[in-house]
């Protein structure tokens, strides 16, 4: 591999660290500014590249929470792992809102089989405690950010990242096998706010690159999601109802699969450091706490209101890492059957 790293035109720059490995040429700085350290094929850059590979694989291997539409614009999404369905690429036209629902540790991961492309003047908004340090875009080939896009999160691209004119990124641009290209853009590292679970290690602040050569990123800083130095427990929740609403009964909330019967949910937790404790919440109410990695719990549906409900598992490992996984289900109304009498 090898190549250059730097913007084609640069009047702005990188508020964080910039790195390249392998390679030796960093162009465009100056006139572009790097308000941090530059690591060019040094030990930090090489370790960051190793961490990027591990983080990419970690993000790609997380269990799916929901299927994303081909264009994420105009939607509001809660924490989880989203994957494009029949269309391998993900687009963004307009604004995407990420809602942490009051949990600043909420993690959003987008698994994109092929490309990520944002339209001109598109944006990602964070509400209710969501943080850019906990947003990850795992891209199977390359990403392109359209002119004046206001983007949030870390892009983990297998090949390259192209950033058009006037883009502002709160996060990191990490390319494994290709160039990162900037044109008069601003990239700002996004450390998590105090009080959240963070870990420090190589991998923050991948710098801009040209459209020639290869420029996997490097750097140091705070991270809040996939990666070898902060891989938290991997939680899977299954066994939630797959029943359909009985004929004649009121329809459940959009997107819910509902049931009127009690059911058993199962939880599996994996972590290399070992599990310290896991807490299970039903609609925000603690219903179980355990140190087991495999367990089940009986959900008494008949005591719940009709509508949408959420099961959340918060798991802590012995290394101090934490992860949060949620699944939704719907509580149906029972269909009424009118008895028939002869005569």
User: How confident is the model at residue 193, as a pLDDT?
Assistant: 65
* Per-residue model confidence (pLDDT) at position 254: 43
pLDDT (mean) for 226-240: 64
Residue 54, Cβ density class (10 Å: 0-12 exposed, 13-18 middle, ≥19 buried): middle
Task: Find the Cα–Cα–Cα–Cα dihedral 252, 284, 269, 306, rounded to 10°.
Answer: -20
The two tokens of residue 69 are: 């539409």
pLDDT greater than 90 at residue 116: yes
Q: What percent of the chain has pLDDT over 90?
A: 34
pTM: 0.58
Q: Is residue 245 scored above 90 in pLDDT?
A: no
How sure is the predictor about 242, in pLDDT bands with cuts at 50, 70 and 90?
low
Report the pLDDT value the prediction gives residue 25, as an integer from 0 to 100: 65
Please state, rounded to an integer, the average pLDDT across all residues of the chain: 77
Structure-model confidence comparison of residues 94 and 303, the more confident one = 94
Q: Which of 183-197, 219-233, 255-269 has the highest mean pLDDT?
A: 255-269
Token output for 175: 């390319």
Residues 176-209 pLDDT 10s:
988 888 888 999 987 776 444 333 332 333 333 3
């Amino acid at each position: 591999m090898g190549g250059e790293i730097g913007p084609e035109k640069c009047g702005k720059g990188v508020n964080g660290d910039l790195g390249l490995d392998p390679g030796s040429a960093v162009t465009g700085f100056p006139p572009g500014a790097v308000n941090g350290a530059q690591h060019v094929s040094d030990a930090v850059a090489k370790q960051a590249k190793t961490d990027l590979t591990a983080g990419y694989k970690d993000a790609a291997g997380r269990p799916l929470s929901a299927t994303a539409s081909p264009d994420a614009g105009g939607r509001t999404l809660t924490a989880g792992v989203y994957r494009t369905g029949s269309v391998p690429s993900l687009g963004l036209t307009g604004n995407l809102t990420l809602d942490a629902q009051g949990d600043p540790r909420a993690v959003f991961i987008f698994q994109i089989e092929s490309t990520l492309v944002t339209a001109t003047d598109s944006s990602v908004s964070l509400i209710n405690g969501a943080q850019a340090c906990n947003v990850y875009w795992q891209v199977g080939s390359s990403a392109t950010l359209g002119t004046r896009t206001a983007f949030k999160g870390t892009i983990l691209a297998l090949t390259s990242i192209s950033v058009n004119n006037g883009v502002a990124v709160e996060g990191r641009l990490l390319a494994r096998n290709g160039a990162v290209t900037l044109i008069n853009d601003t990239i700002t590292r996004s450390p998590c706010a105090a009080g959240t679970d963070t870990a420090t290690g190589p991998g923050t602040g991948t710098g801009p690159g040209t459209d020639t050569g290869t420029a996997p990123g490097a750097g140091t800083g705070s991270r809040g999601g996939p990666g070898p130095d902060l891989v938290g427990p991997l939680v899977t929740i299954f066994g939630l109802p797959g029943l359909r609403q009985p004929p004649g009964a009121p329809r459940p909330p959009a997107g819910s699969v509902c049931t009127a019967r009690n059911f058993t949910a199962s939880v599996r937790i994996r972590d290399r450091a070992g599990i310290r404790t896991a807490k299970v919440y039903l609609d925000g109410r603690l219903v179980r706490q355990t140190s087991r990695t495999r367990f089940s719990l009986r959900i008494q549906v008949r005591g719940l209101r009709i509508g949408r409900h959420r099961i959340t598992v918060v798991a802590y490992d012995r290394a101090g890492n934490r992860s949060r996984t949620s699944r939704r289900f719907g509580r149906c109304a029972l269909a009424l059957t009118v008895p028939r009498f002869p005569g």
